[in-house]
A = this chain, B = another copy of it.
Amino acid sequence: MERTELNILGEFGLIDRIASQSQIHNPTTIKGIGDDAAVVVADHGYQLLSSELLIEGVHFDLGYVPLKHLGYKVVVAGISDILAMNGTPKQITINIGLSNRFSVEAIDELYAGIFAACEDYEVELVGGDTTSSRSGLILSISAIGTVETEKITYRKGANANDIICVTGDLGGAYLGLQILEREKKVFLEAPEAQPVLTGHEYVLQRQLKPDARLDIIKQLRELNIVPTSMIDVSDGLASELRHLAAESGLGVRVFEEQIPIHQKSYLAATELKLGPFTAALNGGEDYELLFTIRQEDYQKILDHTTDISFIGFMSSDPTEAFFITKQNEAVPLTAQGWEK
């Protein structure tokens, strides 16, 4: 039998390969594989279904991630995909694989975080499977949500000259992770040393307890604005921009100086000798929303919302995928999945 290494396909290649074989049997299925969430018909609109898998040693390191924060973050990761369809998350299920290494108190901590997030985002845990795992902790979350038919927002749908918006600020979660990794290394080399985390509370919070932007979805609804396309920033801005562009058959032009980066992220980046802009482009795990709006909605957002930045435009030329540096140079955006 032939053997093709998985890394030749890459994550997105693998997803495309699976998606191309999937067949629709039920008329209630509106959209299957290939967006932030699946879309099925429900009462008064569409029902959305999304799913995420988090594995110890791959997605989190219990050496420095408190279980309560991990529980909170799993829920954020799960519902962020529902928000990215302009939907309201409603219910979640969590599957958990764990070894005897974990005590009941440890599991309680994890679920305390899960329930805190359920409270904050007005969703409920309605089920899930618990099982033993031989190695580390495994968490799988599925979320369902609803959206009015005329308000659903796919990755596809942007038009040329639509304005590209992003919420909050970017790169912080990645920089927080680098601070934690640095201190872990110090600790492993000299266990008596105390971790130096002071001054980095902001980026640490971005990594350990991110927010899902339900608030932005609510604001957009109040302003009666439906984005023309949307995705959540879980893999880094560059990758997400390329998704929106590819799905809409357009190009993108974004301006480096418009990318929102927190001053505490600049501080952490300087200390770590990393580029803050690179962290924003390729870092991931920010769980902010990236979306496009019609030109006529610009003023409404400017006047009535906070925490939304305008970072560029959709271009009619699908071969164009650039960011414009402060020195006015056009640099190609390169996406990075789990190949990196």
A53 CB to nearest B CB, Å: 4
Option from B2, B146, B338 in Cβ contact (under 8 Å) with A131: B338
A336 within 8 A of B: no
State whether A6 and B104 are in contact (beta carbons under 8 Å apart), knowing that A91-B49, A115-B21 are contacts in the complex.
yes
A140 within 8 A of B: yes
Option from B9, B15, B50, B127 in Cβ contact (under 8 Å) with A33: B127
Q: Tell me which residues across on chain B come within 8 A of A29, comparing CB atoms.
A: 90-91, 124, 126
* Copies in the assembly, this chain: 2
Question: Are A105 and B32 in contact, CB atoms less than 8 angstroms apart?
Answer: no
Q: Tell me which residues across on chain B come within 8 A of A122, comparing CB atoms.
A: 25-26
Option from B50, B124, B130, B338 in Cβ contact (under 8 Å) with A127: B50
Option from B4, B25, B32, B146 in Cβ contact (under 8 Å) with A103: B4
Question: What sequence of 0s and 1s flags, for each residue 94-114 of chain A, a beta carbon within 8 Å of any chain B beta carbon?
Answer: 111110101111011001000
State whether A18 and B111 are in contact (beta carbons under 8 Å apart), knowing that A6-B100, A43-B43, A90-B29 are contacts in the complex.
yes
Question: Which residues of A (1-41) have their CB < 8 Å from a CB of B?
Answer: 1-9, 11, 14-15, 17-18, 21-26, 28-29, 31-33, 37-38, 40-41
Chain A residues packing against B (C-beta within 8 Å): 1-9, 11, 14-15, 17-18, 21-26, 28-29, 31-33, 37-38, 40-44, 47, 49-55, 57-59, 90-91, 93-98, 100, 102-105, 107-108, 111, 115, 118-119, 122-136, 138, 140, 142, 144, 146, 338
Most buried by B among A15, A33, A93, A118: A93
- Nearest B residue to A123 via CB reads B25
The 4 closest A-B pairs by CB, nearest first: A38-B126, A140-B140, A53-B95, A142-B142
Question: Are A105 and B4 in contact, CB atoms less than 8 angstroms apart?
Answer: yes
Q: Tell me which residues across on chain B come within 8 A of A53, comparing CB atoms.
A: 95-97, 129, 131, 138, 140
A306 CB to nearest B CB, Å: 26
- Nearest B residue to A19 via CB reads B125
A46 CB to nearest B CB, Å: 10
Option from B9, B58, B144 in Cβ contact (under 8 Å) with A40: B144
A98 CB to nearest B CB, Å: 7
Most buried by B among A24, A31, A91, A105: A91
Q: Tell me which residues across on chain B come within 8 A of A98, comparing CB atoms.
A: 6
State whether A124 and B25 are in contact (beta carbons under 8 Å apart), knowing that A4-B103, A90-B40 are contacts in the complex.
yes
Question: Are B91 and A23 in contact, CB atoms less than 8 angstroms apart?
Answer: no
Question: Are A51 and B127 in contact, CB atoms less than 8 angstroms apart?
Answer: yes
The CA-CA distance from A111 to B98 in the complex, in Å, is 26
Option from B55, B119, B128, B133 in Cβ contact (under 8 Å) with A51: B128
A36 CB to nearest B CB, Å: 9
Q: Tell me which residues across on chain B come within 8 A of A1, comparing CB atoms.
A: 105
